[in-house]
Chains A and B, each alone.
Chain A
Amino acid sequence: MGNMKFKQALVFLIPSLAGLCIFYIIPFIGSLYYAFVSGDAQSRWVGLGNFYALFKSNMFLIAAGNTLMFMLIIVPVTIAISLIFSLLAWNSKGMEGIFRSVMLTTYVMPTVAVMLLWTMLFNRAGTINSILGILDLQPVAWMDGSNMRWPIIFMFLWKNIGFNMIIILASLNAMPKEVYESSLLDGAGWIKRQLYIVIPEIIPALIFVAIISMVNSLRIFKEAYILVGPYPTDSVYTLQHYMYNQFKVLNYNHVVASSLLFVLAITLIVGVLFIYEHRIKG
Chain B
Amino acid sequence: MKRPVSIIIIVLISLFTVSCSITPMKTNTDSNDIKTESNGIKNDNKGTTSRKKTITINALVPKGNSNLWYYNNMGAVKLPEGIELNLLSTTDKDALAIEPDKIITKLLSHSNEFDIYFIGSDQEFAKSIVDKGYYVDLLQNDKLKAYFDKMYPQIKKWSMSGDKVFGFPTSLWPDAHMLMREEQLKKLDYSIDDLKTFADVLEFNNVWRSSKYRSEIGKGVYASMNEVFPYIIKSYLLSHYDYGRMYEEVDTKEFRDLLKGVKDLSKNTEFGDWNKFSSEQNYLSTLPVGIFNLYPIYLSQSDGGEMVPAPVPLVGSETPGKYSMPVSFYIINPYSDNIDAAMEVMVQIAEMSKHLGMRDLLYKDMESYQCDNKDCQYGDTLTKIYNDKKMFSYMENFYDKYEMYFAFPGMEDILVTCSDYMQDNITLDEAIEKIKQNISVVQRENAQ
Contacts and interface: CB of A to CB of B under 8 A. Distances in A.
Max chain A CB contacts within 10 Å: which of B1, B6, B410, B445? B445
Interface in A247-269: 247-252, 255-256, 259, 262-263, 266-267
Interface stretch (B24-32, B255-263, B359-367): B24-32
B25 A27 contact: yes
B17 A41 contact: no
Given A2-B1, A262-B21, A40 B132 contact: yes
A221 B132 contact: no
A240 interface: yes
B26 A30 contact: yes
Contacts of B15: 20, 24-25, 28, 263
Contact of A242 (B23, B25, B416, B445): B445
Nearest to A32: B25
B447 A58 contact: yes
A146 interface: no
A249 B14 contact: no
A218 B201 CA distance: 51
Nearest to A42: B40
A246 B26 CA distance: 18
Given A58-B444, A278-B6, A27 B17 contact: no
Contacts of B133: 40-42
A237 interface: yes
Nearest to B110: A43
Interface stretch (A72-80, A171-179, A227-235): A227-235
Contacts of B438: 229, 231
Contacts of A267: 10-11, 14
A247 B131 CA distance: 14
A89 interface: no
Interface size class of chain B, counting residues whose CB lies under 8 Å from the partner chain: 35 or more
The B interface is mostly helix, strand or loop, or mixed, namely: helix
Interface string B15-51: 1111111111111000000000001110000000000
A88 interface: no
B247 interface: no
Interface string A36-51: 0001111100000000
Given A24-B15, A215-B13, A259 B441 contact: no
Contact of B413 (A6, A231, A255): A231
Nearest to A43: B110
B334 interface: yes
Contacts of B129: 250
Interface in B124-154: 124-125, 128-129, 131-134
A194 interface: no
A138 interface: no
A230 B413 contact: yes
A183 to B, nearest CB: 31
A232 B21 CA distance: 18
A209 to B, nearest CB: 14
Nearest to B7: A271
A221 B21 CA distance: 9
A107 interface: no
Contacts of B128: 248-251
Interface size class of chain A, counting residues whose CB lies under 8 Å from the partner chain: 35 or more
Contacts of A30: 24-27
A28 B18 contact: yes
B104 interface: yes
A202 interface: no
Contacts of B110: 43
B125 A250 contact: yes
A243 B132 CA distance: 18
A269 B296 CA distance: 60
A259 B131 CA distance: 24
A28 B175 CA distance: 42
A65 to B, nearest CB: 14
A263 B16 CA distance: 9
Given A59-B441, A256-B25, A266 B13 contact: yes
B22 A256 contact: yes
A219 B25 contact: no
A219 B108 contact: no
Contacts of B134: 41, 250
Interface in B71-119: 104, 107-108, 110
A259 B22 contact: yes
Interface in B329-372: 334
Nearest to A246: B445
A99 interface: no
A266 B134 CA distance: 34
A25 B12 CA distance: 8
A196 interface: no
B398 to A, nearest CB: 30
Nearest to B40: A42
A230 to B, nearest CB: 7
Given A30-B25, A229-B416, A259-B21, 15 more contacts: A3-B1, A27-B26, A28-B22, A30-B24, A30-B27, A42-B40, A43-B110, A221-B21, A233-B437, A245-B445, A247-B22, A247-B104, A248-B124, A263-B15, A274-B9
Interface of B: 1, 5-7, 9-27, 39-41, 104, 107-108, 110, 124-125, 128-129, 131-134, 334, 409-410, 413, 416, 437-438, 441-442, 444-447
21 contacts: A17-B12, A20-B12, A20-B15, A24-B15, A25-B19, A27-B19, A28-B18, A31-B22, A34-B25, A58-B444, A59-B445, A231-B410, A232-B437, A232-B441, A240-B21, A249-B409, A259-B22, A262-B18, A267-B11, A267-B14, A271-B10
Interface of A: 2-3, 6, 17, 20, 23-25, 27-28, 30-31, 33-34, 39-43, 57-59, 211, 215, 218-219, 221, 229-233, 237, 239-240, 242-243, 245-252, 255-256, 259, 262-263, 266-267, 270-271, 274, 278
5 A-B pairs with the lowest CB-CB distances in the bound complex, closest first: A27-B24, A41-B133, A31-B25, A24-B19, A250-B128
